[in-house]
Amino acid sequence: MKTLIIPCAGKSSRFPNMKPKWMLTHPDGKLMIQKALDGINLEIFDRIIITILAEHCKKYEADLVLKQAFENNKKIEICILDNQTKSASETVYMTIEKMQINGEFVVKDSDNFVSVEIPKKEKNFIVGYDIHKHPKITNIPEKSFLIVNEQNITQDIIEKKIVSHIICLGIYGFSDTTEFQNTFKYLSKNGIENELFISHIISYIISQKKSIFEYIEAIDYKDWGTINEWILEQKKYQTYFIDVDGVILKNSGKYGKINWGNNLEAINENVKEIIKLQENGGQIIITTSRGEEYRKDLEKILQKLGIKPYSIIMGLNHSTRILINDFAPTNPYPSSVAISLPRNSLIKDYLK
């Protein structure tokens, strides 16, 4: 049996005044936990177990939310713990005990996206990322670091101390549950006084020369471990309502020599900026007072310019446009912004 465990029984202390972070909604509509599983091949696992707290079921319907979110994946099982655990390693230990897991298992954090090829064959491994190759990684001091030799064998894993250029991404493979259980029990009684990380379990196993942990490098990585990182992720996917006349095309009206039927003069700098927004994840919604009879012509113009709108809203009143949106800790203030441009001017300075 090959089992995937996703521990979600922590405090989420870095996301104050919110529901558990794994339940937060990504801009594309998926839950954070769904996004966290998108980068790995779930088909190779016989069981997929998500461990949550009973109090979150009562307060946020966490168990129902998971069943609805993963209704098409019959492998998903939910392990509900009555009490909050002290660490992710304790969550994993209790999950193994309660769900009677045997044999090979993999642990995956719920607060990041990692694209990686998980080994199909039974082995111990740790997934990491080379920050020399990917210098834009944030929150570096809070990561755990891997010391890896030339044979891609992990020699040690150390918490929150920069000892190498390889960070751990929170995916750990164990060839057998027994070694993990025995090490956890031993260190709980004789070792770490503070929080017992999974990295401590692995470091001890390596130091005792009990097992070898292979290093596997991830293909892609997005970290949402703190509220700031999650907000930065949300900002990449902002929705932009963009007018046609006076913003994308030089302004014209329904009548006159240059009109909605023949105006093709684009404001090229604005077109480039809009394309940049959509390539970075922005959702583009085109708004215009042009009537529905102009839709096909407008679609052709936008296609030729390289703008790929999510939607086009035709026939709007030639008047002030007011966007009303709610805000909350999960969608922080300001949740809506208005930019009024001088006609035919450039938008890049206003977007800053």
pLDDT for the residue 193? 65
Report the pLDDT value the prediction gives residue 46, as an integer from 0 to 100.
96
Question: Angle between the 177-190 and 198-207 helix axes, to the nearest 10 degrees?
Answer: 100
**Rounded CA separation 270/273 (Å):** 5
Instruction: Give the pair of three-digit tokens for residue 208.
Output: 């005792």
Give the three-class secondary structure for 63. helix
The list of the chain residues with pLDDT below 70 reads 191-193
pLDDT at position 136: 85
Span 239-293, pLDDT tens digits: 999 999 999 999 999 999 999 999 999 999 999 999 999 999 999 999 999 999 9
The answer to whether 135 touches 221, Cβ cutoff 8 Å, is no
Among candidate residues 24, 8, 12, the one with its CA nearest the CA of residue 330:
24
In tens, the pLDDT along 35-69 reads 999 999 999 999 999 999 999 999 999 999 999 99
Which bin fits 205, alpha (ψ -120 to 50), beta or left (φ > 0)?
Answer: alpha
Strand pairing category for 311-313 and 283-287: parallel
Instruction: Write the DSSP assignment of 252-321 as a string of letters.
Output: -BSSSSSBTTT---B-HHHHHHHHHHHHTTPEEEEE-SS-GGGHHHHHHHHHHHT---SEEE-S--SS--
The residues near 293 (Cβ < 8 Å, ≥ 6 apart) are: none
Q: Which domains are present in the chain?
A: 2-226 (3.90.550.10), 238-351 (3.40.50)
* CB-based contact 287:316 (threshold 8 Å): yes
pTM recorded for the entire structure? 0.89
Q: Structure tokens of 245?
A: 């006349």
- Helix locations, the chain, DSSP H: 32-37, 54-60, 62-69, 88-98, 177-190, 198-207, 227-236, 268-279, 295-305, 348-351
Strand partners, 313: 287
